[in-house]
């Protein structure tokens, strides 16, 4: 199989990289090889945002989601450079804090000028990351012709941590940048270079792995990036032991924190069919390679009750890189996607070669980090039945931090009401067992009954038999039991037929 160098656009030219390990991070390449040290290393796990960069690709080659900023034919996504592998940049452009002034014609960009005027930088370590996130935000809102509220800006900056606690002046700068004269990035030279790169064949990249030496020579690892679903399926079947890579938001930490050897890698990111989100056959179908930001936005468009769950799933740089298919396939018992999808009755489409099979998502999980995937099989898509008028849905997240934190407990609760009686119920909890699973006893306690306080209390009592939660760093078993019961009561208060309480998780129309 022939290989070629990694080719991408950086600092106004096409860069070719050969010999770098397939798991070399974009951050390490920037700082150590390109000597572009504006991008900082903080946590090396995608949590602090100091290393935020923008990955740009031709808009007609991207997923087409409105969730990415689009300027001059480019789709712009802020991502964490510390957990992004260098080969995933192939055919794309890498923009860093060094590019913002250059692409703005040599003068300060409105983002930079606003940060100066509002004193938005203290020690300065986090500032480059904030600049890149704010630049993507600026371009997105300028393109849409809207003016974001201060709360919206805070949500968009949720993936950037300021260690000096200077959030007030940073948010001041976020508002001020839209008051300054409009100044968009000049992306025309990048577009021309990217169109040149798109004549390249699909990436097959090989590099020595210095961590694994046999017979005196370093083993060669390969990075495969097929471009069609058929090619991807055939490659997966032929190489069932290769590591599948989607957004790298979890696997990246295996390298930066656990120093694990990944071997050969097969990347989903170039397969357009896996990045699509469509409505078909009464279902919302989310491709396994669709970014989390796009997937959650699509869910929230049909179920506005999920807006808060969307915004509290990590921060924008993680959501723009990670995928919902990867989050589901990972199988973490505290992942936020699975409870919502299971409560909505979603199914998962699996593929091996040309053969596909579909099953209820709740049946996909067998035990802790174990699932139904067979050798050579992969997740192709998730299918979610569209909402019905009688459906009542809420999603609640309990965590130690409001933003960018892993759940101690996640509840997705859904009822089908016929008048004031419960026709069907689906209660899914994360953090209560080794896998995300339904509270079958609690569901049975309310089905066929009037949705009143007595039914809710019966469901609360049944929860004690549905789960035996664990105690860990995020929450104790007793706390999880009490919190789960409390969330059921909150759900009843918000959905009871008589005098329901306003749902806190649904945004006001002005913020939607």
pTM equals: 0.95
Q: How many CA atoms lie within 13 A of 24 on its CB side?
A: 25
Cα Rg of the chain (Å, integer): 23
Find out if CATH 3.40.50.300 is the number for domain 276-495: no
**Over 245-310, what HEC string results?**
ECCCCCHHHHHHCCCCCCCCEEECCCCHHHHCEEEECCEEEEECCCEHHHHHHHHHHHCHHHHHHH
Q: How far apart are the first and last CA of the chain?
A: 50
Per-residue pLDDT of the chain (512 residues; tens, 9 = 90+): 699 999 999 999 999 999 999 999 999 999 999 999 999 999 999 999 999 999 999 987 665 456 788 888 899 999 999 999 999 999 999 999 999 988 877 889 999 999 999 999 999 999 999 999 999 999 999 999 999 999 999 999 999 999 898 899 999 999 999 999 999 999 999 999 999 999 999 999 999 998 888 777 889 999 999 999 999 999 999 999 999 999 999 999 999 999 999 999 999 999 999 999 999 999 999 999 999 999 999 999 999 999 999 999 999 999 999 999 999 999 988 889 999 999 999 999 999 999 999 999 999 999 998 999 999 999 999 999 999 999 999 999 999 999 999 999 999 999 999 999 999 999 999 999 999 999 999 999 999 999 999 999 999 999 999 999 988 888 999 999 999 999 999 999 999 999 999 865 444 433 44
Residue 256 near residue 25, CB atoms below 8 Å = yes
For the chain, the structural domain boundaries read: 1-200, 276-495
3-state SS, residue 112 = helix
Predicted pLDDT of residue 328: 96
Predicted pLDDT of residue 166: 86
CATH number belonging to the domain at 1-200, selected among 3.30.70.270, 3.90.1150.10, 2.40.70.10, 3.10.20.30: 3.10.20.30
Predicted pLDDT of residue 509: 36
Residues 6+ apart with CB under 8 A from 214: none
227: left (phi over 0), alpha (psi -120 to 50) or beta: alpha
Q: How many CA atoms lie within 13 A of 427 on its CB side?
A: 26
User: How many Å is the maximal CA-CA distance in the chain?
Assistant: 75
Q: Which of 321, 405, 327 is nearest to 52 (CA)?
A: 321
The separation between CA 38 and the C-alpha centre of its own chain, rounded to angstroms, equals 25
């Amino acid at each position: 199989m022939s290989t070629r160098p990694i080719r991408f656009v950086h600092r106004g030219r096409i860069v070719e990289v050969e010999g770098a390990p397939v798991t070399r991070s974009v951050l390490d390449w920037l700082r150590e090889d390109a000597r572009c040290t504006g991008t900082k290393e903080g946590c090396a796990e995608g949590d602090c945002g100091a290393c935020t960069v923008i990955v740009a690709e031709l808009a007609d080659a991207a997923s087409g989601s409105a969730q990415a900023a689009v300027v001059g034919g480019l789709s712009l996504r802020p991502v964490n450079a510390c957990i992004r592998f260098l080969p995933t940049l192939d055919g794309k452009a890498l923009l860093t804090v060094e590019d913002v002034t250059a692409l703005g014609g040599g003068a300060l960009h409105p983002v930079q000028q606003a940060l100066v005027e509002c004193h938005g930088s203290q020690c300065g370590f986090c500032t480059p990351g904030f600049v890149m996130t704010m630049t993507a935000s600026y371009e997105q809102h300028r393109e849409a012709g809207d003016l974001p509220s201060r709360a919206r800006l805070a949500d968009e900056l949720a993936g950037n941590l300021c260690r000096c606690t200077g959030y007030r002046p940073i948010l001041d700068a976020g508002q001020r940048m839209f008051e300054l004269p409009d100044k968009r990035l000049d992306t025309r030279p990048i577009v021309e270079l990217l169109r040149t790169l798109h004549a390249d064949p699909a990436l097959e990249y090989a590099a020595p792995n210095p961590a694994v030496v046999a017979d005196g020579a370093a083993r060669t690892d390969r990075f495969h990036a097929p471009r069609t679903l058929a090619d991807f399926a055939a490659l997966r079947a032929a190489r069932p032991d290769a590591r599948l890579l989607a957004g790298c938001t979890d696997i990246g930490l295996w390298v930066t924190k656990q120093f694990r050897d990944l071997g050969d890698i097969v990347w989903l990111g170039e397969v357009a069919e896996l990045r699509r989100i469509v409505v078909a056959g009464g279902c919302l179908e989310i491709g396994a390679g669709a970014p989390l930001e796009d997937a959650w936005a699509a869910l929230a468009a049909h179920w506005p009750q999920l807006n808060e769950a969307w915004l509290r799933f990590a921060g924008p740089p993680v959501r723009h890189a990670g995928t919902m298919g990867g989050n589901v396939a990972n199988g973490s018992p505290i992942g936020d996607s699975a409870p919502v999808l299971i409560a909505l009755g979603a199914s998962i489409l699996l593929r091996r070669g040309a053969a596909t099979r579909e099953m209820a998502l709740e049946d996909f999980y067998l035990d802790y980090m174990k699932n139904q995937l067979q050798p050579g099989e992969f997740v192709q898509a998730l299918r979610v039945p569209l909402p019905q008028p009688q459906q009542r849905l809420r999603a609640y997240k309990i965590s130690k931090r409001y933003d960018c934190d892993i759940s101690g407990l996640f509840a997705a609760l859904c009822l089908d009401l016929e008048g004031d009686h419960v026709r069907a119920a689906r209660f899914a909890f994360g953090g209560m067992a080794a896998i995300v699973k339904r509270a079958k006893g609690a569901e049975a306690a309310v089905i066929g009954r009037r949705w009143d306080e007595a039914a809710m209390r019966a469901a609360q009592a049944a929860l004690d038999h549905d789960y035996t939660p664990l105690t860990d760093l995020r929450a104790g078993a007793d706390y999880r039991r009490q919190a789960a019961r409390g969330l059921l009561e909150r759900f009843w208060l918000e959905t009871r037929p008589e005098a329901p309480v306003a749902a806190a998780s649904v945004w006001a129309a002005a913020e939607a």
